[in-house]
Amino acid sequence: MTLLRITNTPRDYAWGSVDLIPDLLGVEPDGNPQAEIWFGTHPGSPSMTSAGESLADKTEPLGFLAKFLAAAKPLSIQAHPSRQHAAQRFAAGHPGYSDPNHKPELIAAVTPFRALCGFRPSAQTAELLAAIAESDESFRPWQTAFASGGYRAATQWALTQSGEVADRLVGLAAAIPDSAELLRSIHEHFPSDPGLLMALLMNFVELAPGEALYLPAGNIHAYLSGLGVEVMAASDNVLRGGLTPKQIDIPELMEVLDFSELENPKANQKLLIAGLVEYQTDCDDFKVYRVEPSSSNLLVDLSLRGKGILLCTSGEIAISTSKEETLELRRGEACFVEGANYFSILGSGTGYLAMG
């Protein structure tokens, strides 16, 4: 049986927040963006134990990666391939694929969290594009493309427009009153980016703490702001279409996208017992649970199988094994557990448990 406290160094991607992760960890901000803290065995940044050893040296490679993620400005509009598609492209040596795996993701909000996720209901998009075309005739081809070819044609048109077209869209506040503020906030960071057009085709989602998004293969998405716990399959395969200085591959993105509308982007939740909620997915790489122990919710003798990473996001929680080993976690701390047929989670707080 293994029960280890694990830590890692925050990653300073430009889209990261200056204060969200420091606040979570209870330290003073240093003025630099802190975007992610990785927990797992991923070779890009394996976790370290309290003894100063790499977690990758203490266990077999995990099939999933857990993170604290803190966004202060939009991440790229992106999607991930299916396992079959990734394996084919990787075997063919496609430069956009670094491994043969898929990359389903789930992100649970720790603070209020804003994101774009999936294509919005078609009736809403048809009404919106009609209003835009009525206000500016140069957007009539976009409306026509959607009417004749659905989201595939509308996406192809949007992603191949010039920066001038994207900037002109932002000025049509009267035609898009419900989306004007969203576009202005994205435009502040990514002016003249065709991703601005894509934002109008997608669901704008505001998550309350505890709510989550599940992003399977083909789901188009972009995180906008907030602090969350993200769990994903251990892969680096990302196809991007905008809102990023990184490589964009529109033809390959079009190959992997699921162009069906997504009426309800939020992940369903299943209450297993008081204080233990499972986020519903179709993923076989990981399962994610929200644990909320308290004096009235003692999560004892849990029999969840596999290797796990537990992240504490509020209060104090303790994990105890059947061998009477106990590890206490405070807000912002994490641990790894393996080989515990039964364990308990006690205390008073909130945590997220990823198992795989």
| Residues designated catalytic | 240
Burial 132-170 (b: 16+ CB within 10 A, else e): bbeeeeebeebbebbeeebbebbbebbbebeeebbeebb
Exposed / middle / buried, residue 263 (Cβ in 10 Å: 0-12, 13-18, 19+): exposed
Phi–psi pair at 219, nearest 5 degrees = -75, 125
Exposed / middle / buried, residue 84 (Cβ in 10 Å: 0-12, 13-18, 19+): exposed
What's the rounded Cα separation, in Å, for the pair 42 and 66? 10
Q: Alpha helix locations (H) across the chain?
A: 20-25, 83-91, 122-135, 140-159, 163-170, 180-189, 195-199, 250-256
CB 146 within 8 A of CB 156: no
DSSP-based helix, strand, coil % in the chain, nearest 5: 25, 35, 40
- Tokens at residue 115, please? 């994101």
> For residue 238, which amino acid is it?
V
Phi–psi pair at 220, nearest 5 degrees = -85, 135
Burial 229-255 (b: 16+ CB within 10 A, else e): bbbbbbbebbbbbbbbeeebbbebbbe
Backbone conformation region of residue 23, classed left if phi is above 0, alpha if psi is from -120 to 50, else beta? alpha
Residue 106 pairs in a beta bridge with: 214, 231
- C-alpha pair distances (Å), 73 with each of 185, 282, 353: 9, 29, 27
